Amino acid sequence: MLGSLYARSVSGPPLEGIALAVREVSKAFRLPHEQVHTLKERALHPFRTRSEETLDALNEISIDIRSGEFFGIVGRNGSGKTTLMKCLAGIYRPDTGEIWARGRVAPFIELGVGFNPDLTARDNVLINAVMLGLSPTHARERYDSIIEYAELERFTELKLKNYSSGMQVRLAFSVMVHVDADLLLIDEVLAVGDSAFQRKCHDSLMAARADGRTILLVTHDMNAVQRFCDRAMLIDHGDMITVGDPRDVSRRYEEVNMARYGRSDGPVVAHAGDGTAAILDCWMEDETGERSAQLPHGRPARVRVEVEMRADAVHPNFGFMITDEQGRGVLAIASEATKPQSGHFNAGETVTVDVAFDCVLAVGGYSVSPEVRHSGTERRLKDHRENATSFDVVGAAVSGGMVDLPHSISFARAATVERTGS
């Protein structure tokens, strides 16, 4: 099914294989500088005029999203990302342009949208599921599965206004993944959930993509963009800056932030340090040298990081910390311990640091936090990125420890000693 959500100066439907088509969509808001709030103010100042300013939230955005594509939308706060998503979801009507969508659309944009806080979870689930396209019969059939996924079995008769923000997120996301929508629109609100539920969400999104559904993700997390997205788009001040490979878009996003705040002002986004170095990218590779978010247990692997020197550096110390899903450190690496003479680097140079190891970590999820420090006794921090990339270890039996070392087990029965009386 192909439908036009909004059409102005319609040029016709998009080509086959396109799940979502956005054609020259613009949206502006009026910002009043002075408002009259009371009747008294109106009586005392009957001729006072109210000045207004126009905010161009979106400026002729055009993009085609392919069916089954995982597409990321990134940008600084106030860039227009959420406005675009609300236009796609039908919450806002664009001033100009057209939007075409194939199939059912399920938005997950703002906490509480579509929910009535004075109703119970059961009533909200049924109403929201019907609003997203399910029949009342199908909504009732999937109710138990929705509640179980959200892990809210004990709270179904509790009014939603008594739910925590995390509980509301779990409920809303659970409804979204159970309505079998063809197009999923997901905003940064996913970050409200705890780490365990976020992993469940990611698994559900991967399953949805495997089923051929189309996913749009708005986020500030460049690691998620590079890990999950097939393509990404950068928006700034309502303009589409670039669209393409997630890694290139992530780098451009960093550049936009640096241009906005200035390179000499120190860290931006998830960075921390004195700004004399900038970690541009961090990723994992399997034994074939391919970038991968899944590493087979017991096989060679490597972590790589690209660092741009913002000032001359003499033997900087490159370090990594790998943590598990509970935030426990399982591996710490520092170049000064094994190779203190890392080299002399000039400002503007980019260095790629490569750490190879045999992956003996237990099955599970892990995160990597790289950093660069000055050499010598001072060891001041140049740059640090917390959880810059993440990966899963697969292919081994589930164990109870942090590592699963290669080992063997043998058994020997103790010899029986016969005792005789004197």
What's the burial of 317, exposed, middle or buried (CB within 10 Å: 0-12/13-18/19+)? buried
Query: Which residue in the block uniquely carries the two structure tokens 């039996």?
Result: 397
- How many CB atoms within 10 Å of residue 360? 17
Structure tokens, 232: 């990404």
Q: Round to whole Å and give the CA distance between 2 and 104.
A: 9
Instruction: Decide the pairing of beta strands 70-74 and 52-66.
Output: unpaired
Helix (H) or strand (E) holding 82: helix 81-89
By C-alpha distance, which of 199, 174, 38, 153 is closest to 108?
174
By C-alpha distance, which of 152, 145, 93, 73 is closest to 120?
152
Q: Are 193 and 150 in contact (CB under 8 A)?
A: no
Instruction: Decide the pairing of beta strands 350-358 and 239-244.
Output: unpaired
Tell me 291's DSSP state. B
Q: Are 242 and 235 in contact (CB under 8 A)?
A: no
Q: Round to whole Å and give the CA distance between 274 and 47.
A: 54
Q: Round to whole Å and give the CA distance between 377 and 340.
A: 13
Q: Round to whole Å and give the CA distance between 193 and 202.
A: 12
By C-alpha distance, which of 191, 88, 170 is closest to 125?
170
pLDDT for the residue 9: 36
pLDDT for the residue 214: 93
By C-alpha distance, which of 118, 223, 123 is closest to 160?
118
DSSP state letters, 211-233: TT-EEEEE-S-HHHHHHH-SEEE
Q: What is the pLDDT along the chain (422 residues), one digit of tens a residue?
A: 445 555 433 345 556 788 899 999 999 988 766 666 677 666 666 666 555 678 889 999 999 999 999 999 998 888 899 899 999 988 889 999 999 888 888 888 766 667 888 889 889 899 988 888 888 898 899 999 999 988 888 898 889 888 887 888 888 888 888 888 889 898 876 655 666 777 788 788 888 888 888 999 998 877 678 778 889 999 998 999 999 988 788 778 877 766 554 443 333 344 567 888 999 899 999 999 999 888 998 899 999 999 999 999 999 999 998 988 777 788 888 888 888 889 999 999 999 999 999 998 888 888 898 999 888 766 788 888 888 888 888 876 656 667 777 667 766 787 766 655 54
pLDDT for the residue 17: 84
Tell me 31's DSSP state. E
Structure tokens, 412: 């020997």
Close Cβ partners of 388 (under 8 Å, ≥ 6 residues apart): 223, 270, 279, 282, 305, 367, 368, 369, 370
Query: Bridge-partner residues for 235, per DSSP?
Result: 240
Sheet holding 70-74, edge to edge: 105-108, 183-186, 214-218, 70-74, 231-236, 239-244
Say whether pTM exceeds 0.85.
no
The beta strands (E) that lie in 156-247 are given as 183-186, 214-218, 231-236, 239-244
**Domains assigned to the chain:** 266-394 (2.70.50.60)
Structure tokens, 357: 């190891």
Close Cβ partners of 48 (under 8 Å, ≥ 6 residues apart): 34, 36
